[in-house]
Structure 1
């Protein structure tokens, strides 16, 4: 469902919540579903209607839709769900995230809600057509935040505009706050440390006037640029749901209020405690604004991968209409239009080349650096760059259907997801801010009762320091920022994490299992070996054999014909063609009697194949079945056709071994062929002779001893195995069904991408752990310091000003650390174009493989 669509409103009332159910066909289905739902302890009543295909569920207490949906699924039926995405404004820390999630989850009908602080988006899962967008927006509004209305097509652009506006507003607020704070800081701190300033204030300006000026400057900072904190923090306090803004409000308001009394009614305070802390309140606001400004700038950089992907699509295209080339907006291009592309231009949409020839740079989509040749019949992808030729192509996919649009959606989905590691953060931040307020109150009480004179001043300063330093911003940003940068960098390398969870799971893989055909191999039979006797010329034999096989429809014959045509050999005229199943084919080619087939075919014809006994054994050891050719009754050649291994398969297996992983292969081939391929590639485990529907069982077998299995496949029959594996990786050259079933997609089809995917998974999770360590360690160490635990030991106290600076630094540190992932370099670079490497190259035979 799009973010702007308005589903039908079916609110949860005392009558219950309606859930759409798929798969029911009769009354027994109804009974089965009702029984499954009623068995849940949280359900008071359930009524299923076959005609409307809905279940009305009434809960005894709080609605637990997730359990109901799981029960329906176990009963053998499905509940249609959809997702709604909302842009959220006003979130500043992890506690804000937790608050919005709780508010959304309380909306009747919502199954789950996940909020991402870095992307400022909420993803809500709910039963199809049961909850209105208005009710979701109302829940967000009630929680104290705002929903941003955006058009889906302009969402990325709008988000960038909003972020730019936020940076601009923060820059202006910081400039005003700094302008007012600097003279205030100089007056107060300078009077303590610089004798000249102290003398000027006391003798010329006057102490009272100095306090009035400090009051005016601090008030201007707090209720000018700092008003943003009060607008958010005070309502949050009234709702008994304090956030980071509330901590700032409590800290600065306490310092300012105390100073106000000390300035205008000092007699109300105990003797010796009438001190002012205007500069602390002002500097705190200024430093936090500085931190927010730097944070907003860094957050903008975390989404640069998406910006670059969006920027790949040109704004217009040249469309051929009625023989005339027109410059049209990209939105006006429709499927079936003919487009004209010149050298140096970007391809606007996906399509198939009609005329012309060129080389196209597809590196921004696949990660492959070498331009790809395109001619009539070739596919082109929107966003790629035409290098040197002019072509015309027919548009096949436009708008949201293009590969580039799908990539952007995949990356955004991965960036907006939550990893399992985030669960710990969510649990901590749920109680963090209230705990900090309690710690500040305890600090105030302890210093007030047991602190040295003036106890009230010590109590106030230390309590404010605790409030200011305990910022959960770093906790909230630790995971999502790393995910954003990591998945964005992966996309630039041609690796798409369709699900963010795969980032965490892939790094823990113990076994990488490959489908053989089409994944480790090219998936199309090719002529790999042709060795002639001394009496015959290789090219002549290949031409005669290929001419004969052209009359056959066997895949092996097709491979031989393609090899001959690739070498420019012209078909000869064939007569008296005969095909004998299980033996071979024969005929007259240019007056020569030609026979091609298995050894039994030549033996039947009285031709001895013993001359190729050694070659036949080597081919057999390589998992190949040899064919023989005879010309005019004489043995002419031994031939092998097989599905050749991809150029990078062996290097990929070695690289995976270097990472400490075991490699397995699942194939329907016979054990001899499978073991030969596995031996050549260095594969550890082989599951051979697997039927198409047996791959899931094979994956389960590899999972023994609690091993984590990553499965790599490309075909339709690989989809169930991709889903069964802990992580499914689909090569981008495979089928759409396989790609949709996978967690990770390798756009280039280059298997080396698997190694790079694992490497960036490990780098990203390592980065997240560093961020979380810093965020938690910072608070664990500095909150006690701010409370004054070191004072009895060495007399050290943490100034609220230093606390504000450290708090701002913590968020900037986490963001800066996450941004390091932008410089992640692939440990294995894509292969350079070169000679095909096949098992045939290892045979020391006369002649060469075609």
Structure 2
């Protein structure tokens, strides 16, 4: 029994690679052993990506102690932090190479065994030859199963290796007694069949299955490997005016780097000089390269497609965006979906259940058929033990989750964990913030009407707005600059005064000019009575209107309508979501007129305006009380409470860090169409999980009774252990193949 000790408040949370896992029961054994250790608070072992996520008290248990415990049952825990990836990769390469050699030799020795068993039992010394051929296959190339089974047994554990060792061991030992003591079996009136070929071929098929499984499992993590592969190992740093090649690990914040065309960027930073075209598809999922100007942010792992440029390093090592994404995806792939808890419980008890069924099978053959049927009873036991290995069951959920989350990352959809991936599939209602989510969050001039225009006046407007810090000033300045061929502001701007709630007053060459709302012009005695202005206002009932006036001559010069604009993909994205059966809601702190205008443009029926953060939270709670599964999408700190309350939360990556931290899903690149992609990907992943589990259970539900001989009384058919071994291997391959389809399924 686990000794209960007080756990310190400073629990460590860490994922360790586990070496040597061969089935779901193996993962359960590792999890059980770690959970039983004093100082360990929580453990989750994922068979698909071979990791153990552990919460432990370093004051009560060391990592070396956990490693020692796992080694005692035939596996290994990689505790090195810096070299973990290299250790795992080297171990997997060695394991694959060794498995390939063993499989090849097992097949070479098994083929003549099958030939002899089928057509050559009458040749001289047939039994001796079969024994000589089978022994190295079973105990050398299949020795791993016996060693692992023994180590698990001394700790009271059992797994797939136990089933393989028992099944092949029983077939081999039975055949050996028949070969060495044939007179004994004959004197008892019992048939003395040799099953050396069954033991050897079962080992061969299982080794082949494991070989194919390793290949398939490596492809389930292809997306994360692709992300990791975008990180360069060296970079060109400019120091003391000289360019030198250095390791990426040697780069420090503030270093100046030179990035040449075709090179991947080593760290996050800002452009110092040059205007490169950067392909950010590995982070955002967008294939079109983006033009970067001075001070623009560039990210590690992205590719410079055109012209050399210099940059300043701002984030290095594990602090880069790419490193954060890789770490997040790794953690997500290692997490368990709620449905996996049930599967884990079944897998943990599965082997014991199979052993009981095997015992009942043998006793039933003996009891119903007498001593004459002992030989068939042995075959049935061997077949039951072989066919019932729970590999497919253990792979059904985590393999699909690894592929689904990996594909999401490649598309710029970062999902925090498997639970969020599973919940996302059941979303019935989506609540969207308006500003920065549905819209660009950056107002622009929609239309301007000039009552009097010349370049000098446009220059004055540009100069005034560039002197302002008001949120709308940039939009007006950009518009004014677009009118001018040289975009040079006038000289003579002596001062600009901000008038709260009204606008700006500025003196240019001793003449006062005003930029602001209608109230400002009324206060300054400037009349707004031009007919063309009336038509202009009628065309923009929901937009913000800014006026430009000459105070010296008391006349209006121009009117400008400003509005936030919908993202280009907003309408099509919302249509896709409706096609998926999802109801759309919009919540905003903006005024009712603006909210109504945006809702009309996008076809949103349910919307609320003038809301505080607490109001958004209440709205979501009301939907949940009505039985809805609610997703909330936002990008600001004011959305964080609503994001936390929603069943599934999504944040835009250009939004606040608070919103992204709360969110279960982050959309890199801020494209709304990724919402629909994420939901469809989640539904496909969940569908794949259910299909995998169905076929894994169905395989065992049908396979075990047939292996036990249930068809024999009616058809005279007994399942051959060799066929059972092949079927067991193929069941795992089929589950992995079904999961890998997620990488290529089209999202519509």
TM-score by length of 1: 0.83
Q: Does 1:565 align with 2:481?
A: yes
1:410-489 matches, within 5 Å, as 410-451=328-369, 454-489=372-407
CA contact 1:150–1:158 (8 Å) conserved in 2: no
Distance in 1 separating the partners of 2:715 and 2:385: 22
Query: What are structure 1's unaligned runs of at least 5 residues?
Result: 1-11, 21-78, 192-200, 828-850
Distance in 2 separating the partners of 1:241 and 1:576: 82
Distance in 2 separating the partners of 1:664 and 1:212: 78
Query: What are structure 2's unaligned runs of at least 5 residues?
Result: none
1:643-662 matches, within 5 Å, as 643-662=564-583
Give 1:84 shift: 2.6
1:466-545 matches, within 5 Å, as 466-532=384-450, 536-537=452-453, 542-545=458-461
Correspondent of 2:117 among 188, 199, 205: 188
Distance in 2 separating the partners of 1:708 and 1:395: 43
Distance in 2 separating the partners of 1:655 and 1:538: 47
Correspondent of 2:604 among 683, 693, 698: 683
- Which deviations, in whole Å up to 9, do the C-alpha atoms of 1:735-781 show, x marking residues without a partner? 32322222111111111111111111111111111111111110011
Q: Does 1:132 align with 2:132?
A: no
Residues 350-359 or 774-783, more deviating: 350-359
Q: How many residues align structurally?
A: 739
Classify 1:396/1:576 alpha carbon distance in 2 versus 1 (closer, same or farther; 3 Å): closer
Distance in 2 separating the partners of 1:820 and 1:624: 48
2:89 matched residue in structure 1: 160
Give 1:576 shift: 8.5
Correspondent of 2:13 among 75, 83, 91: 83
Q: Does 1:777 align with 2:733?
A: no
Correspondent of 2:204 among 277, 286, 291: 286
TM-score by length of 2: 0.93
1:726 matched residue in structure 2: 647
Classify 1:577/1:81 alpha carbon distance in 2 versus 1 (closer, same or farther; 3 Å): closer
Q: Does 1:700 align with 2:688?
A: no
2:518 matched residue in structure 1: 599
Distance in 2 separating the partners of 1:552 and 1:117: 59
Give 1:825 shift: 3.5
SS of equivalent to 1:560: helix
CA contact 1:251–1:467 (8 Å) conserved in 2: yes
Distance in 1 separating the partners of 2:528 and 2:349: 87
Classify 1:598/1:806 alpha carbon distance in 2 versus 1 (closer, same or farther; 3 Å): same
Classify 1:490/1:230 alpha carbon distance in 2 versus 1 (closer, same or farther; 3 Å): same
Distance in 2 separating the partners of 1:779 and 1:722: 42
Distance in 2 separating the partners of 1:615 and 1:355: 43
2:170 matched residue in structure 1: 254
1:110 matched residue in structure 2: 40
Classify 1:352/1:606 alpha carbon distance in 2 versus 1 (closer, same or farther; 3 Å): closer
CA contact 1:593–1:633 (8 Å) conserved in 2: no
SS of equivalent to 1:706: coil
1:574-593 matches, within 5 Å, as 574=493, 581-585=500-504
1:229-244 matches, within 5 Å, as 229-244=145-160
Residues 592-601 or 221-230, more deviating: 592-601
SS of equivalent to 2:306: coil
Classify 1:760/1:241 alpha carbon distance in 2 versus 1 (closer, same or farther; 3 Å): same
Give 1:210 shift: 0.6
SS of equivalent to 1:271: coil
**CA RMSD of superposed structures (Å):** 2.5
Distance in 2 separating the partners of 1:135 and 1:723: 38
SS of equivalent to 1:17: coil
1:737 matched residue in structure 2: 658
Correspondent of 1:626 among 529, 539, 545: 545
Q: Does 1:672 align with 2:660?
A: no
Give 1:128 shift: 6.7
1:327-476 matches, within 5 Å, as 327-451=245-369, 454-476=372-394
Distance in 1 separating the partners of 2:396 and 2:349: 18
1:85-104 matches, within 5 Å, as 85-104=15-34
Distance in 2 separating the partners of 1:380 and 1:594: 40
CA contact 1:163–1:300 (8 Å) conserved in 2: no
Classify 1:539/1:668 alpha carbon distance in 2 versus 1 (closer, same or farther; 3 Å): farther
Distance in 2 separating the partners of 1:19 and 1:186: 62
Give 1:592 shift: 7.8
Distance in 1 separating the partners of 2:543 and 2:527: 24
Classify 1:454/1:756 alpha carbon distance in 2 versus 1 (closer, same or farther; 3 Å): same
Give 1:696 shift: 3.0
Give 1:258 shift: 1.3
SS of equivalent to 2:263: coil
SS of equivalent to 1:223: helix
1:823 matched residue in structure 2: 744
Classify 1:581/1:102 alpha carbon distance in 2 versus 1 (closer, same or farther; 3 Å): closer
Distance in 1 separating the partners of 2:267 and 2:383: 56
Q: Does 1:748 align with 2:669?
A: yes
Q: Does 1:120 align with 2:61?
A: no
Give 1:465 shift: 0.9
Residues 249-258 or 266-275, more deviating: 266-275
CA contact 2:461–2:480 (8 Å) conserved in 1: no
2:5 matched residue in structure 1: 17
Give 1:636 shift: 4.4
CA contact 1:608–1:635 (8 Å) conserved in 2: no
Classify 1:526/1:637 alpha carbon distance in 2 versus 1 (closer, same or farther; 3 Å): same
Classify 1:241/1:148 alpha carbon distance in 2 versus 1 (closer, same or farther; 3 Å): closer
SS of equivalent to 2:140: coil
Which structure ranks higher in relative contact order (CA pairs < 8 Å, sequence separation ≥ 6)? 2
CA contact 1:504–1:765 (8 Å) conserved in 2: yes
CA contact 1:530–1:637 (8 Å) conserved in 2: yes
2:709 matched residue in structure 1: 788
Distance in 1 separating the partners of 2:718 and 2:693: 26
Distance in 2 separating the partners of 1:566 and 1:160: 56
Give 1:217 shift: 0.8
1:705-720 matches, within 5 Å, as 705-720=626-641
